[in-house]
Each structure stands twice: as C-alpha cells, then as structure tokens.
Amino acid sequence: MADGGLVSIIMPVHNSAGTVGQAVRSVLAQGHQDWELLITDDGSADSSWERLSAFAAQDDRIKPQRSESAGGPAVARNKAIARASGSWVAFLDSDDLWLPEKLERQLQFARDTSAVLSYSAYYKVAADFADEAKDFQPNERIIHTRDHLTYRRMLDANFIGCLTAMYDRDALGTRLMPELRKRQDYALWLSILRDGHVAHGIQEPLALYREAGAGSVSGDKLSLVTYNWQLYREVEGLSLPRSALALTTSTVRSFRNRRV
C-alpha cells in the first residue's frame, strides 16, 4: 500500500477556456502539495492551450500536452495517465473543482482504510459558477455516496463521481480507461472492482461538480442509456436480465442526482 507521496492528477481539456482556470487553481490551492497535474488538451479550438501554457510557465508541476485533433475524453485521459509517475492517480475534469482539503483528507482516508480505490461525496454548483473553490460556501446540493462498493454493488449504478476518484497506482499498476465514447470512467471502476477489490467512500463532500448548461450533451441523461447498455452487455458481458436490472437502477439514480 502506498504511503502518501506524489499524486498524478489527470485532466482532459476540450474548449474549456472559460472554466479551466478555476479547475487548475483549485489544484494549486490543495493542502497536499506533492502532485503533478497531467493535462491533455484534446484539440481545443479556443484559448485553452494558451491558458494552460501560462499556468505551466509559472509552475513546473503543471504538465500540459496538446493533441491536434479531438480523440474524446477516454483517449485524452489515457494519454495523461500514460505519463503518470505518481503513487496515486486522481481525476479532475476541466469544468470541476476540488476543495482545498480534498487530496490531504483522501490520502489519509486511503491509508486508514487500505483503499486501492477511493472516492467522496461532492457538491453540485451551477453552470455559471464563477467563484474560486477556496471561497466556496457549502450548499444543500450534495451528491451523497456509499461507504464501500463491491463489483456486484457497483453494477447497479455508477456511485463514484469521477472528480472524486483516486486509485493506488503502486497497488494496481497503471490502469487506463476503456476507450468508450461515454461511461469510460464507470468502466474503469468496474474493471478494478472486478478483480476483487473493494472501493471505499468518504461521506464528506470534497469537490464541486459543475452542472451542464442547457442543451449540453452531457446533461442529457437519456442519452446515457444506450452507453450504459453497451457497457453492461459488451464490456461486462452481463446477461439480458441482469443488464436490464442494472440499466433500470442506474437510470433511476441518474435522474435522482439530476434533481439535486
């Protein structure tokens, strides 16, 4: 089991000039400062790359890499994971934020529970949230989580918010995301748990999830049904009845979270 140390933070970026600064600054504000921020600019057509380059010039722990064409979030994340040198791999998207105590508390929790995969509850904030994470005032929009997750339980729904997930690279090795168009994070958690591991969750919200703007593809929960079905049938190889049960429970949870 890894004992603290370097955290490799994985951040895919695509046309995120309006939010990526907040995301990066939330990493810079972490109490635990032993980290590297591995960013893949996935073919952005806005000023994302210029913003990332400016951050990198100020702090050599920020390590952006540019792809000329967009390959999608799984490809972008995997390019960053392949460059990781830390004992831990954590995930933060370019429109989300971490609270300052996130890494410090999660690392301690992972050591205390011997968790090779850990996660936490998180807050939801509006699409136009403009404050810094360090100035965030707690709200009632909390996405709660479970104390622990086995593979069997995780099949019922994706209970792990990607912005809160962290895995022990020393224990698991370098684990990449299956290159699905969507639900690639869910597929990664399942692949880890399928090996017999148990994931452990922190009930305290440690991150801020920016809800999708109107008309966003990621905000259309119905569009995820097809991708969940593909994951259950083609990746996990579940039977038709088990896939149908999992699809029902995951869809219900998705819509419940959307109302928070």
Question: Residue 20: what pLDDT?
Answer: 98
What domains does the chain contain, in order, with CATH numbers?
Answer: 7-215 (3.90.550.10)
158-181 as b/e: b if 16+ CB within 10 A: bbbbbbbbbbbbeeeeebebbebe
Question: Residue 222: what pLDDT?
Answer: 64
Question: Residue 234: what pLDDT?
Answer: 85
Which of left, alpha, beta for 232 (phi over 0: left; psi -120 to 50: alpha)?
Answer: alpha
Which portions of the chain are predicted below pLDDT 70? 1-4, 213-223, 260
Question: Residue 82: what pLDDT?
Answer: 97
Range list of H helices, 40-183? 48-58, 73-81, 102-113, 151-154, 169-172
Task: State the pTM of this model.
Answer: 0.91
For residue 218, the surrounding DSSP H or E stretch is none
- Which two structure tokens, joined as six digits, stand for 19? 């939010």
